[in-house]
Each structure stands twice: as structure tokens, then as C-alpha cells.
Structure 1
Amino acid sequence: MASKRRLRIASYNINGINSRLHVLTRWLEEFKPDIVGLQELKCTNEAFPHEALAARGYSAIWHGQRSWNGVAILSRVGEPVETRRALPGDPNLEQSRYIEAAVCGILIGNMYAPNGNPKPGPKFDYKLAWLDALLAHARDLLGTKVPALLIGDFNVIPTPQDVYKPERWAKDALFAPEAREKYREVVALGWTDAIRRLHPDERVYTFWHYWRNSFDRDAGIRIDHALLSPSLAKTLKAAGVDRTPRAWEKTSDHAPIWVEIEA
């Protein structure tokens, strides 16, 4: 019988991969994740820095878009085998928001969900339609019984526990009741929110605005999530947020989230 290994899988909204490549590569070298989902690449497919990542031991697949969006999956534990590069039913396929791959026997769906602001309006309507498509795909994935992980920037603050001073976000699309309900529906299908499973009572944030010393004051929100299918949730050993790179110079306004599982 093959022995199991512990895998560290992370998600990081890098907020411009080429302008913050020094941040990303430093973090990869220090944190040493096995698999990473990246969001907000903000570069074309041609401009993706795959050589710099390969030099640090990471294979990659990516789906870029000029100036906006963009997602990628990195792995140092085997080539990611791409299974799709768009969310089924995405109402706007011109936007690069989802990429999915099999790595080490796990199906990983990496996403950058729409922000949705301002609301009401077409951007908020798109957000809700996209989350409906995510709900349908999340249901289908569970139907396959394959160990799966939905990870990335969901752009949803699930509960008041996940935001510093909820009243300040009352009119924001990220905290809209409609968006929070969509997230709740996805989890209710049988997915496990790794952070909440292991840290049920803590205030855990993954994003802090650049202004008003938000990070120093810990005035943040939790919008980056890792959802595990039932079979994968049984192997969950640890989960958290690596706040370290958020304090670096010229860094992203997000911090990486991570889970450790046995596979």
C-alpha cells in the first residue's frame, strides 16, 4: 500500500503577476507550497512568466487576459493536467476567471469571481449569474465523487465574522445578502470551508485595502476561500492565511491562503 504524503495547496491573488513577480517568487521560495492557484494575473497568455516559475521548480497552466483578470495553477508535484479553462455556463467567456486541473489525484478548480461593484447594475447582475454557474458546477463536481478543491478569490464575504466593521461594507457587492446566499448555497451542497472548519471562532482576513493603514490595523475582510469536497475534507490537516507577504514592499493587497491535506 502506497504511503500518503501531505500536500500544501495555496491560493494567492497576486494582483498583477509581472509587476509583483519578485513578491511571488520570494514567497514560493520561503513558503514552498506544492500547488498554487493564482488570480488576477493581469497579463496576456504570451506575457505569463512561466520560465521564472519553472526555474523555481513549478510547472504551470494559465489563462490570461490583457490588463484584467487571469488565473493560473502552479505545481511542483507533477504537471497540472488541464480539464477546463472556463466555468461551464459563464455568461461572459471573454473574461478569464476559472481554470481547472488534475494534480496528484485531486481536481483543483481555481477561480477569480466577479467583484460586482457598483450595485445595483450590470456588474452585480454578472456576479450573481457567475455565482449561479459556480453553484451548478460545484454540484456536478460532487456528483463525480472525485476528490476536489474549489479555491481562489470568491469576492464574497460570507458572514459578519469575516469582516472588520461590517457596517462599512453594507452597500458593497462583496457583502451583499444575495452574494452571501450564493456562497452559502455552494457550501450547503456538501463542501467544507477549510478555514471555518479549523478556525470556527477566529476573525480571519485575507484582504486589506492599501489605504488608511488597513493591514497594520487588521481592518480586513475574508474573500479568498478553499472549499473541499467530502472525501478531501476527511484528509484536511491544517489551514490558514500566510500574512507574511502582505507586509512586503509593493505587494498584493491579498495574502495567500493555504490548506494541508493527505493525498
Structure 2
Amino acid sequence: MSFSFASWNINSIRQRETLVLDWLSNHPVDVLCLQEIKCEQHQFPASFAEAGYHVAIVGQKAYNGVAVIARKPFEVRHRRLPGFSHDAARYIEIEIDRLTIGGLYLPNGNSGGEEGYRLKIEFFETLAHHAREMLERDEDFALIGDFNVCPAPEDLAPGALGAHDALLRPETRAAWRSLCWLGLTDAVRALYPRECLYTFWDYQAGAWDRNMGLRIDHALLSPRLADRLEAVHIDRDERARPQPSDHVPLVVTLRADRPL
């Protein structure tokens, strides 16, 4: 059987609880990684556990926050990015079906001046170090979430961002490339090398109606998972729902693992 996992920056799970429950009922992914849940653990809606899902939460009051929702039990390996100096709720890592999935919300880098941007680059560098260690251990893993980077010109609509935005700065793109060059595969670009595909449309300036989008939600796959890559789907329809998140789900499907 195939295995599928998804990422969705939900921009407040308490505001969009019903949207996520509806989406899960119509999209039978094995694992859903959420970002920007914007609540503490005790505030996360109980409806998911009541519906039979298995849930792990790394929460924070009002800001950030990540979570995992899965259809069967999993082991939580990390509740923060190993080695990262800042204690924000931006990373969760699980193991399920001999596969490791790291769900992440990388700092935007546009607030907090140069210190805020330094934190963004530090997260990238720490993530690369962690990925390198997993590769050295020959693990099968995916890093999925809101990376807050447009890696190439086709990853944003013309004029959607200013030239000096933190999502486009040369250092940001270089940090992304350094991560990929460890031997990871950008799942979207593996199947859609040059298409203009977006995962985010701002609430401002009619960005959705004008298709002024960004591709900032990504899935990076370790080598054996890249070999199993079957499909990638960006669920644009969710952006047209009432009171949507400004991001949409990114879904990755892997072919069944070959017997050892």
C-alpha cells in the first residue's frame, strides 16, 4: 500500500478546526503536519482525538506551534529541533512505519531586524546539521512544512514580494540549497520541475483573486523516499473555502516500500 503525508500551515487550529476535520475526512492521508496552530497544548481541539486520530502537539500561546495528526499510533522522537538555540514551538519529529517525519515552521525572518533574520539562518543551519546526521545513520526521512523560502523565481508570482524580502534574500536561498545538496529531493520539483505552483496567497491586496502566490511550503525527501515518490498534490481548492488559511495543504504520496 502507498503511504501519504501532508503539511498545512493552518493559521490557527481553533479557528479552522472544522476545515481540518472536513479535509481529513475527504483526504485519507496517513499523517498531517500542521504549522501555526497558535495555541498551547491544552487548547488544541479535542475533536481530533475524539474522531479516532492520534495527535501530538508542540504548542505556544498565540504564536507559532506545530502538531501531528495521524490515523495510527506513532512515536514522537523530538519536540524541538535538536541543537536549535531558541525555544519557539517550531519543530516536531515522529517515527511511523519505519519512516521519520519532521514537521517544521521555519522563522519568517522579516521581523525582529537582523537578529530575527539571524534566527532564520540559524534554524536552516541547525536543520541541515540534523539532516546530515540522519543521512549518516542511513535513515528514511522527510522534512515537511512551512520553510518560508521561495527557492527560485518560478516559486513566486512576479511582484508578489519585494526584492529584499527575507524569503528571497541570497542567504536564504543559499541556506535552502545547502540543505538540498546534502542529498535531499524537493518533492514538488522532482515531479513538476518548472511549473509555477503556489502554496500561499496573502489575505491582502486581492492576492488570491490575482493569483499572486508563493511556494513556501515544501517537502524534502531522503534518497530512498525520493525513489518511492509517486505523487505530489497542492490542494488549491482549500484557499477558496470560507475563512481559509492563507496556506493550502501539500500532499506527498509514496509507493509501497519494497520488502527487505
TM score, norm. by length of structure 1:
0.94
Structure 1 residue 83 corresponds to structure 2 residue 50: no
Q: Name the structure 1 match of 2:153.
A: 160
Q: Match of 1:72?
A: 67
Does residue 92 (structure 1) correspond to residue 73 (structure 2)? The answer is no
State the 1:7 CA deviation. 1.4
Q: Which residue of 2 aligns with 1:11?
A: 7
User: What is the identity, as a one-letter code, of the residue corresponding to 2:64?
Assistant: N
Q: Matches of 1:167 and 1:252 in 2, distance apart?
A: 18
The residue aligned with 1:29 is 25
Contact 1:73 1:80 in 2 (8 A): no
The match for 1:46 is 42
* TM-score (norm: length of structure 2): 0.95
Q: Which residue of the partner structure matches residue 227 of structure 1?
A: 220
> In 1, Cα distance between the equivalents of 2:132 and 2:200?
28
Q: Map 1:79-228 to 2 at 5 A.
A: 79-93=73-87, 95-118=88-111, 120-165=113-158, 168-228=161-221
CA deviation after TM superposition for structure 1 residue 132, in Å: 0.9
Structure 1 residues 167, 110: closer, same or farther in 2, change over 3 A? closer
Q: CA deviation at 1:55?
A: 3.2
Note the residue ranges of structure 2 that are not aligned, 5 or more in a row.
Answer: none
The alpha carbon displacement at 1:6 in A equals 0.6
| Partners of 1:40 and 1:71 within 8 A in 2 | yes
- Letter in structure 1 aligned against 2:2: R
For 1:221 and 1:119, the matched residues in 2 are separated by 22
**Distance in 2 of aligned mates of 1:20 and 1:59:** 18
Q: What CA RMSD, in Å, does the superposition of the two structures yield over aligned residues? A: 1.3
For the residues of structure 1 that align with 2:117 and 2:227, how far apart are their CA atoms?
35
Amino acid in the other structure paired with 1:229: S
Instruction: Say if 1:61 and 1:80, in contact at 8 Å, map to a contact too.
Output: no
Q: Number of residue pairs matched?
A: 256
Task: Output the CA distance in 1 between the equivalents of 2:35 and 2:112.
Answer: 23
Partner secondary structure for residue 142 of structure 1: helix
Decide whether the 8 Å contact of 2:160 with 2:213 is kept in 1: no
Corresponding position of 1:55:
50
Unpaired segments of 5 or more residues in structure 1?
none
Asked whether the equivalents of residues 235 and 249 of structure 2 are also in contact (C-alpha less than 8 Å), the reply is yes
Q: Percent identity?
A: 41
Runs of 4 or more, structure 1, over 3 Å off, are none
CA distance in 1, matches of 2:249, 2:197: 12
Counterpart contact for 1:13–1:38, Cα < 8 Å: yes
Letter of the 1:61 partner, please give it.
A
